[in-house]
Structure 1
């Protein structure tokens, strides 16, 4: 019986992440043209796939550096696309879109800096970062559900929760990775590359 690392299904989590990347364009088109029910359906599929690929990778030992990168890229592309277009359409607060995009730009810049100055990086989001991503997905689903069929579902409290989690996870990322980079660059510890990117 083949081991997990040699299973013909070992690339399934990567394929699911890639599907989520491919969904960004049609979701963006649907949001731009205010096709709210269809956009809601695709965002729900993308959100469910985010949990599915992570479960399969952990449960069957199918984790890989490529998979981690694809998962992170898919999440960030999808969330930035949705928040920017909804803010442009004035269906989500502009300040919230700025916070969400700003956090992801900080993470991307930090990852690039680590790659250039120190070496390869393997994304492994913290629990705080995972909570932030989940809150963003729930927020998007509630906004789209309100636009599609349930106007009373909108919640400013949920928007503030997303903002707080974005700021907290962004600060956590900067602090943790600044310390690791300092130690790695000054030779005070041997650090495995890429623990905790979120």
Structure 2
């Protein structure tokens, strides 16, 4: 978000509709992965990743940055990541520690958000590092799913998928550290009413 973006309380916006569709795709993806329809699951993940980028671009270009959108977009990201990782771990495509690393970060930040809310602060704006980490993870998952295919597609997908996954986890935690430092500064400063 730039300084020129005005956050509105509008609910019916194009970006919010895109985020809602992304949320509705989560159970579709879960069903596809559970029933072994990998090609369709990869397609749903690709659509989700592209729409994640699209809703942010449209929000800024159309002047439709909204408070609901600021909540829906990261919620859809986290839900997709959680469901995808759980499904991939359940199918032994990725190790369970990867799921644990991402869930642990979200639990830490969830507690931070509760502490900030109790002190009267709104949720923190999304950092570029967090968006980059989410982007890398959303690209890693379909690649890791494709890694189950025969060589050469499976081999290339495995290498690139794990590179994206490890970078994504690193950026995800780096962004988490930035959020924690920002929250610490806010909590040590004057209350939001006095700002």
TM range (shorter): 0.7 to 0.9
CA drift at 1:163? 2.4
Q: Distance in 2 between matches of 1:182 and 1:148?
A: 52
Aligned residue pairs total: 184
Cα contact 1:118–1:184 (8 A) shared by 2: no
Matches within 5 A, 1:33-182: 33-121=35-123, 124-147=125-148, 150-152=153-155, 153-155=157-159, 156-182=162-188
Where in structure 2 are there 5+ consecutive unaligned residues?
Answer: 1-5
Where in structure 1 are there 5+ consecutive unaligned residues?
Answer: 191-198
Structure 1 stretches of 4+ with a deviation exceeding 6 A read none
Residues 184 and 76 (structure 1), Cα distance of their counterparts in 2 relative to 1, 3 Å cut: farther
Structure ranking higher on relative contact order (CA contacts 8 Å, 6+ apart):
1
Residues 181 and 42 (structure 1), Cα distance of their counterparts in 2 relative to 1, 3 Å cut: same
Question: Which is further off, 48-57 or 87-96?
Answer: 87-96
CA shift digits 1:155-176 (9 cap, x unpaired): 2433322222222122121111
Question: TM-score if structure 1 supplies the norm length?
Answer: 0.83
Q: Distance in 2 between matches of 1:174 and 1:21?
A: 27
Residues 184 and 12 (structure 1), Cα distance of their counterparts in 2 relative to 1, 3 Å cut: same
Q: Distance in 2 between matches of 1:15 and 1:165?
A: 28
CA shift digits 1:40-98 (9 cap, x unpaired): 01111111110111000011210010111011111110111101111121101221111
Residues 31 and 99 (structure 1), Cα distance of their counterparts in 2 relative to 1, 3 Å cut: same
CA drift at 1:29? 1.4
Query: Cα RMSD between the aligned structures?
Result: 2.6
Question: TM-score if structure 2 supplies the norm length?
Answer: 0.84
CA drift at 1:33? 2.2
